[in-house]
């Protein structure tokens, strides 16, 4: 074989190899090309019991975490990938503070041969709040009025308290727990099983919390009524130099409710005892009532107040003129006189300051004769005033016979 033939054979062989490589590359790239595929998968939250053990709650929807994954691989590999084979999870044991927590996302199930993959999320944001429980008493809201002459008494609720649980911000939004009872036209005791309402500060209903029960049993006794007077109960001595001027209650009467046989034995309601020991000034205050067993106020909001009018006791000397003459015989007259009398009195300041209305001076001329009569100065006074001294104590009064007119015959 000559050289020319050898070169020709070698060239053919090289070209064949190149053609074979090109053909292989064509088959690989055209029949099984590298392409991209996007799949969507949910993010599973694992170790949720960790949060429960630490009294933490996820504030976001646990079903709302999803991501997409862009996968680059040969067509045949991509065809073999199913969304169910690829999983993503976030470990909640890594969340340990209230508020926002950023938790890494771990992706599993990416098969071998994948050139690359890129998730749309690398972390998820989880907002946590502390789980709390509080107890609220059940407030009974009476709707309407029973029949005339009857009254609804204090209701009994079972259970009396409701335990509310949930995120601290939601639980804190519950201001009160109410149960509505319609008593319109009731003539006898009511016993009902009713739903409760959780109310916020503005009166709206709160629903996104847990409660230990949503229904309660309510018993409402319906009693007879009676209007009775209120009597005060006071004890103790006022401070020295003080006097009790007046004392009264308002209202003076209250409407009470109870069984008729109990009402029949009640003629009045006393206030709680008020100790006046050492009091120096007037008092106007709310006072409690000593309510007999099984008796209630019809108006649960009604309040009784007591007013105690206290005054300072003072001593004062005043000049009083205008002495009255009494019991002088019709056939006698007296010489007008002008005499100021100094009177020292002791009593409540308001009376002493207006002594001319509280004390009246007079002389009694019942036994007067013609001429000069020396008589005692006497007085009439308010019972709350004490006369300590009168000066002078006597007056000289000139008396003469009344001149009778002469009648001509």
User: What does residue 26 show for φ and ψ, rounded to 5 degrees?
Assistant: -65, -45
In whole angstroms, give the CA distance from residue 298 to residue 386: 47
Chain Cα centroid distance, residue 293 = 27
CB proximity list for 371: less than 8 A, separation 6 or greater:
398, 399, 400
pLDDT of residue 232: 92
pLDDT of residue 8: 60
**Beta strands in 93-189, from DSSP E residues, in sequence order:** 99-108, 116-119, 123-143, 150-152, 156-158, 161-167, 176-182
Question: Is the torsion defined by CA of 51, 52, 58, 59 positive or negative?
Answer: negative
Are 144 and 183 in contact by the 8 Å Cβ rule? The answer is: yes
User: Per-residue pLDDT tens for 116-163?
Assistant: 888 888 998 889 999 999 999 999 999 999 999 999 999 999 999 999
More confident site: 25 or 327? 327
pLDDT of residue 30: 53
Among 20-24, 77-81, 93-97, the range with the most confident prediction by mean pLDDT is: 93-97
In whole angstroms, give the CA distance from residue 243 to residue 351: 12
Confidence of residue 85 (pLDDT cuts 50, 70, 90): confident
Q: How large is the average pLDDT for residues 162-187? A: 95
Percent of the chain with pLDDT over 70: 91
- Least trusted range by pLDDT, from 34-38, 177-181, 239-243: 34-38
Q: Which ranges of 164-255 would DSSP assign to H, the alpha helix?
A: 168-171
In whole angstroms, give the CA distance from residue 154 to residue 181: 12
In whole angstroms, give the CA distance from residue 181 to residue 82: 59
Question: In DSSP terms, which residues pair with 132 in a beta bridge?
Answer: 166
Exposed/middle/buried for residue 17 (C-beta within 10 Å: 0-12, 13-18, 19+): exposed
Location of structure tokens 């009974």? 140
Are 198 and 206 in contact by the 8 Å Cβ rule? The answer is: yes
Residue 226 has pLDDT above 70, yes or no: yes
In whole angstroms, give the CA distance from residue 258 to residue 154: 10
Q: How far apart are the first and last CA of the chain?
A: 211
Q: How large is the average pLDDT for residues 292-320? A: 92
In whole angstroms, give the CA distance from residue 54 to residue 263: 57
Helix (H, G, I), strand (E, B) or coil at 236: coil
Q: Return mean pLDDT, the chain.
A: 88
Q: Which ranges of 93-187 would DSSP assign to H, the alpha helix?
A: 168-171
Confidence of residue 1 (pLDDT cuts 50, 70, 90): low
More confident site: 231 or 245? 231
Q: How large is the average pLDDT for residues 14-20? A: 67
pLDDT of residue 4: 57
User: Per-residue pLDDT tens for 32-73?
Assistant: 677 888 888 888 888 989 988 888 988 877 667 888 888 888
Confidence of residue 317 (pLDDT cuts 50, 70, 90): very high
Q: Which of 117, 92, 91 is nearest to 106 (CA)?
A: 91
In whole angstroms, give the CA distance from residue 204 to residue 174: 9
pLDDT of residue 33: 79
pLDDT of residue 373: 93
Location of structure tokens 């100790």? 275
pLDDT of residue 79: 79
In whole angstroms, give the CA distance from residue 222 to residue 111: 77
Helix (H, G, I), strand (E, B) or coil at 339: coil
Are 245 and 271 in contact by the 8 Å Cβ rule? The answer is: no
In whole angstroms, give the CA distance from residue 63 to residue 151: 53
pLDDT of residue 22: 60
Are 260 and 224 in contact by the 8 Å Cβ rule? The answer is: yes
pLDDT of residue 322: 85
Render 342-354 in DSSP notation, one character per residue.
EEEEEEEHHHHTT
In whole angstroms, give the CA distance from residue 50 to residue 45: 11
Helix (H, G, I), strand (E, B) or coil at 61: coil
User: Per-residue pLDDT tens for 353-404?
Assistant: 888 888 999 999 999 999 999 999 999 988 888 999 999 999 999 999 988 7
Confidence of residue 218 (pLDDT cuts 50, 70, 90): very high
- Least trusted range by pLDDT, from 67-71, 193-197, 201-205, 285-289: 67-71
More confident site: 75 or 29? 75
In whole angstroms, give the CA distance from residue 143 to residue 181: 6
More confident site: 89 or 79? 89
In whole angstroms, give the CA distance from residue 298 to residue 154: 10
Exposed/middle/buried for residue 154 (C-beta within 10 Å: 0-12, 13-18, 19+): exposed
Cα angle: 82, vertex 87, 93; to 5 degrees? 175
Percent of the chain with pLDDT over 90: 57
């Amino acid at each position: 074989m000559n050289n020319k033939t050898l070169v020709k054979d070698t060239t053919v062989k090289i070209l064949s190899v190149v053609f074979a490589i090109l053909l292989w590359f064509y088959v690989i790239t055209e029949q099984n090309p590298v392409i991209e595929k996007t799949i969507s998968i949910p993010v599973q939250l694992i170790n949720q019991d960790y949060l429960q053990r630490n009294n933490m709650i996820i504030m976001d929807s646990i079903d709302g975490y999803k991501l997409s994954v862009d996968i680059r691989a040969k067509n045949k590999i991509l065809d073999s990938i199913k969304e169910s084979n690829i999983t993503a999870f976030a470990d909640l044991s890594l969340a340990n503070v209230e508020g926002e927590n950023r938790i890494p996302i771990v992706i599993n199930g990416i098969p071998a041969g994948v050139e690359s993959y890129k998730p749309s999320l690398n972390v998820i944001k989880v907002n946590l709040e502390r789980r709390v429980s509080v107890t609220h008493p059940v407030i009974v809201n009476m709707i309407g009025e029973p029949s005339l002459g009857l009254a609804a008494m204090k209701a009994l609720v079972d259970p009396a308290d409701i335990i509310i649980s949930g995120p601290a911000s939601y639980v804190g939004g519950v201001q009160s727990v109410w149960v509505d009872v319609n008593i319109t036209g009731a003539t006898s005791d009511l016993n009902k099983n009713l739903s409760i309402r959780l109310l916020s500060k503005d009166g709206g209903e709160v629903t996104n919390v847990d409660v230990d029960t949503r229904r309660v049993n309510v018993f409402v006794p319906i009693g007879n009524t009676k209007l009775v007077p209120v009597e005060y109960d006071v004890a103790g001595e006022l401070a020295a130099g003080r006097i009790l001027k007046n004392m009264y209650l308002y209202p003076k009467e209250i409407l009470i409710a109870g069984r008729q046989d109990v009402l029949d034995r009640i003629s009045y309601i006393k206030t709680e005892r008020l100790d006046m020991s050492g009091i120096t000034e007037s008092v106007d205050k709310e006072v409690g009532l000593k309510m007999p067993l099984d008796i209630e106020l019809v108006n649960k909001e009604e309040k009784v107040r007591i007013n105690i009018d206290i005054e300072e006791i003072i001593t004062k000397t005043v000049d009083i003129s205008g002495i009255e003459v009494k019991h002088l015989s019709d056939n006698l007259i007296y010489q007008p006189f002008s005499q100021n009398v100094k009177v020292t009195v002791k009593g409540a300041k308001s009376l002493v300051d207006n002594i001319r209305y509280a004390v009246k001076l007079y002389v009694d001329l019942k036994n007067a004769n013609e001429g000069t009569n020396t008589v005692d100065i006497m007085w009439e006074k308010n019972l709350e005033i004490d006369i300590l001294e009168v000066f002078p104590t006597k007056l000289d009064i000139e008396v003469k016979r009344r001149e009778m007119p002469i009648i001509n015959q």
